[in-house]
Homo-oligomer: A and B are copies of this chain.
Amino acid sequence: MNEFELIHRFFSRPPADGTVRLGVGDDAAVVMPTPGHELLLAIDTMAEGRHFFADVPPATLGHKILAVNLSDMAAMGAVPRWALLSGTLPNSDPDWLAAFSEGLFALAKRYDVSLVGGDTVRGPCSFTLTIVGEAPAGEALTRAGAQPDDDLWVSGTLGDAALALAAIQNRITLNPATLAVLRTHLETPEPRVALGLKLRRLAHAALDISDGLMGDLGHILNASDVGAEIELPLLPCHPSLTALLNGAERPLALHCLLSGGDDYELCFTAPPAARDALIALSNELALPLTRIGAITATPGFTVFDEQHHPLPALPAAYDHFPNGTPP
């Protein structure tokens, strides 16, 4: 199977809707944007050894490269529409590619996203996906706009993926049933697209937590020129993480919760007047929404522990180039 046959066999599927005038197979795709809407554009790369292990099931990888990009659309309150995928592959194993594309298209179908273009290169395994979404002009959510006295909210639970990773790497022991549950959050995160769309009219600022709560919340605070106070006991997490938080593994538990990364939950700020609407929304979506603290006029970022003492500094977000030079 050569490059063109490969693309045709695994990545050419009928578009999700009538917006695609020309999909995979020309120099560019041709799509029809919705009048009165702005375009949202994001790109994310996942590379073997950095973002996934060589033995990860390919279907979960296909899911995740799309999910992390859909999560960016969710954070902006956008409807995801069209995707382009570039895959660098060490070979073109048909079984592996079939499973990868199944995982990708299963998620794409649920969100009516059309894969309209791509490229393939031989090399060390990595995937780059570009997502294009839409939102009514002027309505997209951004990281700026958080206001003093806003409530600070997160969706779902935090730290599940980081805890699963710690167990997979034998830094901690979890019972197999717990690991199986947490592992789904690491390998097949669910983008919070429906939540993002509803937040357009409720939230002042939003982003998705990909590099850990502390680092990502820092982006909202910088962009909005405000500070935040967070109550550690309010942070929503799996019971096994709560148990670790109260024992010898507290440092690891704090790391997972505050800076572990790969959560793909939304963090957002909203005025106290929106509380009832957000609780109703949580019920409607069957998705926990938890108030974890508040925005302050004073810049800075404090996490208060169970005794309401400020936590000392914690490791920040994952940084691919922490020192600017190779390790």
Q: Give A contacts to B, CB under 8 Å.
A: 1-4, 6, 21-22, 25-33, 35, 37-45, 47, 49-51, 72-73, 75-76, 78, 82, 84-86, 88-94, 116-124, 126, 128, 130-133, 135, 137, 140, 142-143, 207-208, 223, 319-326
Contacts and interface: CB of A to CB of B under 8 A. Distances in A.
Given A45-B121, A124-B124, A128-B86, A324 B92 contact: yes
A31 B38 CA distance: 6
Given A30-B40, A91-B324, 17 more contacts: A2-B324, A3-B320, A27-B76, A27-B143, A30-B76, A32-B137, A33-B33, A33-B37, A41-B132, A42-B84, A43-B85, A45-B121, A47-B123, A92-B324, A121-B320, A124-B124, A126-B126
Contacts of A140: 22, 28, 30
Given A2-B324, A26-B76, A27-B207, A122 B50 contact: yes
Nearest to A78: B28
B29 A119 contact: no
Contacts of A324: 1-2, 6, 91-92, 94
A43 B86 contact: yes
A321 B86 CA distance: 14
A225 B93 CA distance: 31
Copies per complex of this chain: 2
Contact of A2 (B89, B93, B116, B319): B319
A126 B86 CA distance: 11
Given A124-B124, A128-B119, A42 B22 contact: no
A323 B94 CA distance: 12
Nearest to A124: B124
Contact of A84 (B119, B130, B321): B130
Contacts of A37: 33
A92 B3 contact: no
A82 B43 contact: no
Contact of A121 (B32, B40, B50, B137): B50
B130 A126 contact: no
Contacts of A51: 121
Given A39-B132, A92-B325, A132-B41, A28 B76 contact: yes
Contacts of A119: 43-45, 128
A33 B43 contact: no
Contacts of A22: 140, 142
Contacts of A94: 324
Contacts of A82: 39, 41
Contacts of A135: 30
B3 A321 contact: yes
Nearest to A37: B33
22 contacts: A2-B321, A3-B321, A6-B321, A22-B142, A27-B42, A27-B76, A27-B207, A28-B133, A33-B38, A41-B116, A41-B132, A43-B130, A44-B119, A45-B86, A45-B119, A47-B88, A50-B122, A86-B128, A91-B321, A122-B320, A122-B321, A128-B128
A44 to B, nearest CB: 5
